[in-house]
Structure 1
Amino acid sequence: MDAEGMIHLKATGKGLDDSDLAVHQDEIINSVVKYVQDSMRKELGFREAYIPANSTPEAPVKANVFVSRNYETCKKLLVFVAVSRGLYPGLWSRGLVLHAGVKSGSMLEYFRKAIDEGYGIIVANPNKNVIVMRDGKQRLQIPGSASPEEHMDSLWDAYVARSSARRVYFLGYSYGGVLIKYLLQSRGDQLMRRNGAIALIESSHRIEDGDSQSVKSILAHRTMYWESNDLPFQTKLDGDAPHRTGCTCLSAGRPPRAHANHYYVTAFCINKIEDALFRFLETRDATTYVAGEKPIPEPPVSAPAFMGNGAPVGPGAPQLQRQESARREANNSKMGTSEKHCNLCLFHFTLFDRRHHCRMVQYGAASVY
């Protein structure tokens, strides 16, 4: 891994290309998870906890979560919630790690910022619902974490409720927003008494007619939502986004068109809004926050230089080379080859699935999007 968090093959030192990802994806993810979670423990002082809460490290059927050393005694508690297929605590998404690097694909930078700001932290793991036994045939549901929703209830009862924090804050990415909204409904009375604020990044939740007035009120007044958009950074969005989410919505901006790869756009969004997001958590009120923020246009970026063989050079070269490789592969697929799985949620396509990649893993399978 280089200084920017981009992953390179140890044997050759070269950056990852599509063939490397096809062959070594699980090996790479496992190595990144070990690095990220070791950093959480050793550098940032997290410890591993479990659902069910009375589980030991040796217990075979459990879901692991992470808590900061001060989560029980802090004055303000921040709960991180991210969900996608095969995800581990401490990562935003597997795809971001593989295509945009560890710095953008992991939550480490946000953890450091939260600790500096005085928050206690809990990192949810709603993806962990079953344990596959060694024979590969038997699958056991995890008590208290048999579904993402049950996991969130158990997390609240076993860890959030135990904290003495006066205010509880949430940070949700993608489907994490759906689970935070679920918790507003299932633990609404308890949460209302301690509600801090909710920050959402590219959330896939929706406001529904049947939602309670308290849920609608929290989303409207105590929640801020960011998504990539062509409008300048911190511009208030109108139209579909606020209507769909029930939140105040802001633009996270968008990188130059030369970098318009999906993963780069998402990484750009997550990195760009970090300081702004924590300012909102401190302010708590959506109207007050927006009134104090000004849209910030992106400075013009010169086009990348290219070598004689057409390969880009300069600081962004490795990323652009991967994008070019992906573009070539996409072109090849149009000429007869086919995609085998969704590049985002890793759902494996079959003969009857449409080869459409998820923008956000909101559905049970990528093929329905």
Structure 2
Amino acid sequence: LGAWSRRLLCNRNVELGSVYSVVKQARDDGYGVMALNPNSHWWVDGRATVTVPTKKDYKLIPGLGSPEEHVAYVLSNIVQNFASKEIFFIAHKYGAHALIQALYNQFDTYKDRVSAVAVIESTHTIDSFPTPEFKKWWSLNGAGYVHSEDTDKGKIEYKPYAGCNCVCAGSVEFDFTLVEKMPDIFRFFRSRNGRDNRFEAYRDRLQTLNEDDPTTVMVTFEDDNNAGSDAEEEVPSY
């Protein structure tokens, strides 16, 4: 299965350095699993590769000209045909941007079917997806997991650029955010099992605090208009 990073493979092991451990945990929790590799654009010698081919005998994989194109293709042609009304996503770095863009463009298809989205060290910015309806949906269903100092481990912060609450991993090495926070991600998912995923059912409802669900945590952040002051603004989760 696909590698998260070479450093994890070398410093830890194959299970933690690849999506193997994530797939195993998901299967143990009763989920069906689909793993995407949006970075492999070419088909060479009977397999996908992320390396630019040097051989003449290769093909560009249809629907995989870019990460955004690949994720959009899979969501519109495969995932939307699933019978499940409870869909969970885990996405990493630029893959998270590609996923959020696909969800934004296919919002009507997925707004009532997605239970939770966990993005790890995501490169997205919420300003790229300006629709207020989507921004609210994202803040209620998306959670970020980011590297941080050890002293901030477990702290939850609202990140304006991300448009959602983000959980600090307590590791300054961003590769290890995966290792540190994966158990928390699955607790987040379990807390959403069986939820009525119709957006209209919860969009205007005050959420009850759940320690396993980072979207329900009340957070504070400095008001940019009062930089240098002690003023802080509370951001409730609705």
TM-score in terms of structure 2 length = 0.71
Q: Does the 8 Å CA contact 1:280/1:289 hold for their aligned counterparts? A: no
Q: Does the 8 Å CA contact 1:126/1:151 hold for their aligned counterparts? A: yes
Among residues 191, 207, 210, which one is paired with 1:283 in the alignment?
191
Which shifted more, 123-132 or 215-224? 123-132
Structure 2: how far apart are the matches of 1:289 and 1:176? 30
Q: How many residues get paired?
A: 194
1:244 aligned partner: 161
* Partner secondary structure for residue 292 of structure 1: coil
RMSD: 2.8
Show the 5 A alignment for 1:1-369. 37=1, 90-131=2-43, 136-137=55-56, 140-208=59-127, 211-230=130-149, 231-238=151-158, 242-254=159-171, 262=173, 266-267=175-176, 269-284=177-192, 291-292=210-211
2:226 aligned partner: none
Shift of 1:219: 2.1
Structure 1 consecutive aligned stretches of length 4 or more whose deviation exceeds 6 Å: none
* Partner secondary structure for residue 123 of structure 1: coil
Q: 1:209 to 1:199 in 2, by over 3 A?
A: closer
Unaligned 5+ runs, structure 2: 46-52, 193-201, 214-238
Q: Does the 8 Å CA contact 2:148/2:168 hold for their aligned counterparts? A: yes
TM-score in terms of structure 1 length = 0.47
In structure 1, give the amino acid aligned to 2:191.
Answer: T
Query: How high is the sequence identity, in percent, across the aligned residues?
Result: 26
Unaligned 5+ runs, structure 1: 1-36, 38-89, 255-259, 295-369
Q: 1:184 to 1:194 in 2, by over 3 A?
A: same
Q: 1:206 to 1:168 in 2, by over 3 A?
A: same
Q: 1:135 to 1:188 in 2, by over 3 A?
A: same
2:222 aligned partner: none
* Partner secondary structure for residue 119 of structure 1: coil
After superposition, what is the alpha-carbon deviation per residue over 1:206-248, rounded to whole angstroms, capped at 9, x for unaligned? Answer: 111652223312321111111121244321125xxx1111111
